[in-house]
Amino acid sequence: MNKLQDILEHRHEYARDWKKRTGGRILGFYDVYFPEEVAYAAGVLPVRILAKHSEDFLTDRLMYGNCYCTRDMLNQFARGDYDYADGIVSVESCQWHYNAFDTTLIEKPELWSHYVFTPDYTDARTSKNVMRSELDLFRRKLGEWTGKEPGDEDLDRAIDVYNRNRQLLRRLYELRKFDGTPISGSEAMDTVLACQVMDKAEANELLEELLEETESRPPREDCVRLMLIGSETYDAALERIVESLGANVVIDDLDNGTGYIMRDVTPQRDRLMAIGMRYLLKPHSALKDNVWRRRPQRIWEFIEDWQADGVIIAKQIYCHPHGSDMYMVWNLLRERNVAFHTFERDTTLPYEETALGIEALINIIKPGMTRLRGQEV
C-alpha cells in the first residue's frame, strides 16, 4: 500500500490532523464540478465527500429513490464521520448530490454552506459569464466566512498547486498506457481518490515520490486490459475484483477518474474566468454531455490510447445520467467491435456475482488476443 492509499483509508484522521496542524477550515464538497481552487486559495481545505456504506438508521426517513452513494453521504454526516467539516458546498450537477447536500443541512444546520451554479449547458457564449459570476460570488462568500477574500496571488498559488496535481496524476495514468503497466488499476484509483480528500500540496509531494518509485518498478505481467466506464465510484473495490481475475483496469471514463484529472486551468489575467473555463471545458460527465456529444469520441480515444481490450460499464442503480447515456455508449462499442459487460452497482459489490460477469467478459476477450498467446485461457 502506498502512502496515498493509506491516507485514503484513514481520510477522516488525516483531515482532523490537518485541521489541528494548520488551524484551517474544512469544506466538504460533493461533485467534481466544484471549483476547488477558489476554496484552496482562501486557505480552506476542500475535501471530497466519498460514500462509504455503514449501518443506516436515518436516510430512509428522508430520502427515497436516491442512489446508495448519496444516502451514505448523508448517513456519514449523521454518524459524525465528518465532524471536522466546517461547511459543505454543492454545485449544479447530479441532483442526488444536491439532495444529499440539502438534506444534510436539515440534519446539520450549523454547517456553513454555499451553492455554485455551474451551467448544465456549458457551450453557450454566456455560460462562461455565468460561471465567472458564480465564482466571484463564491470568492466573496468565502471572504465573509474566513475573514480573508482570496486575491489574485492566492488564486495563482492555488491554480499552480491544482494544475501540478493533475499533471502528476496524468503521468501516473500515462504509465498505464503500455503493456506491463507498473501500476494496478486499484492503486491508481486509490491514488486519485486520495488526492480528492487531502491537501493538494501535500499530495503532490507524495505523488512525486510515488511516481519515482513506480517508474522503477518491474513491469507487471501482461494481462487483459480493461476500461471502466460509468457512474462515479468512491473506492477501488471493482478494480480489485478485476485484478483477482487476472485482468487490470488500465483506463477509465469516470467523473472521479479522468474527469477529475484531465484539463488544467489555462492561466489568464482574469483568474476566475480561467478557473471557470477549466470546469466548463473539462471532460464532461454524462449529465453535462447533453448537447454536443463529446463522450463517444473521448471514450474511443481512451480505448485506443490505453489499448483497452474490453470495457466494463458499471452503472450505479438510480444513476439517471448514466442510464440515459448507455444507448450511445453501447452503440459506440458495438460499432467498433469492442467487447463489453454492463452491470448495475448497488450498496456493496458482491464478489461472486460481480466476478461472474467480468470473468465472462475476460473469457470472451482472451481467445482472440495474440499478445497473450500461450497463456492459459
Q: Which is nearer to other proteins, 132 or 225 (by Cβ)?
A: 132
Q: Is residue 276 at the binding interface for other proteins, with CB under 8 A as the rule?
A: no
Return phi, psi of residue 232, to 5°: -60, 150
Contact positions with other proteins (CB under 8 A) in 313-332: 315, 317-331
356 counts as binding other proteins under rule CB under 8 A: no
65 scored as a contact of other proteins (CB under 8 A): yes
**Ramachandran category for residue 318: left, alpha or beta (phi over 0 → left; psi -120 to 50 → alpha):** left
Please tell me whether residue 96 binds other proteins under the rule CB under 8 A.
Answer: yes
Q: Which stretch binds other proteins (CB under 8 A): 21-29, 63-71, 148-156, 168-176?
A: 63-71
Selected from 152, 221, 291, 297, the binder of other proteins by CB under 8 A is 291
Alpha carbon distance 180, 117 (integer Å): 43
- The residue behind cell 471493482 is 238
DSSP 283: P
Copy the grid coordinates of residue 31.
461533485
Does residue 119 belong to the site contacting other proteins (CB under 8 A)?
Answer: yes
User: Binding to other proteins by residue 92, rule CB under 8 A?
Assistant: yes
| 3, 9, 16, 115: residue in contact with other proteins (rule CB under 8 A) | 115
The tally of CA atoms less than 13 A away on the side-chain side of residue 41 is 28
CA angle 47, 234, 313 (to 5 degrees): 140
Beta carbons of 90 and 115 less than 8 angstroms apart: yes
Q: How far is the CB of 131 from other proteins (least distance, A)?
A: 9
- Cα 299 to Cα 150: distance, rounded to the nearest angstrom: 37
Amino acid at the residue 307: Q
The residue (of 201 and 326) whose beta carbon lies closer to other proteins is 326
Please tell me the distance from the alpha carbon of residue 37 to that of residue 159, in angstroms, as a whole number.
6
**Nearer to other proteins (CB atom), residue 134 or residue 187:** 134
Residue from 1, 55, 106, 370 in contact with other proteins (CB under 8 A): 106
Say how many residues touch other proteins, by CB under 8 A: 54
Residue 20 C-alpha cell reads as 489541528
62 vs 355, beta carbon nearer other proteins: 62
Q: Shortest approach of other proteins to residue 302 CB, angstroms?
A: 19
Residue 226 phi/psi, 5° resolution?
Answer: -120, 155
Is the Cβ–Cβ distance between 332 and 294 less than 8 Å? no
Instruction: Pick one of 5, 99, 165, 196: the residue that binds other proteins (CB under 8 A).
Output: 99
Residue 167, classified by CB atoms within 10 Å of its CB into exposed (0-12), middle (13-18) or buried (19+), is middle
The yes or no reply on residue 309 touching other proteins (CB under 8 A) is: no
Q: Does 293 contact other proteins by CB under 8 A?
A: yes
Q: Which of residues 16-45 bind other proteins (CB under 8 A)?
A: none
Quick one: 27 or 250, whose CB is closer to other proteins?
A: 27
Grouping H, G, I as helix, E, B as strand and the rest as coil, residue 23 is coil
* Interaction site with other proteins (CB under 8 A): 60-65, 92, 94-96, 98-99, 102-103, 106, 113, 115, 117, 119-121, 123-127, 129-130, 132-134, 137, 286-287, 290-291, 293, 315, 317-331, 342
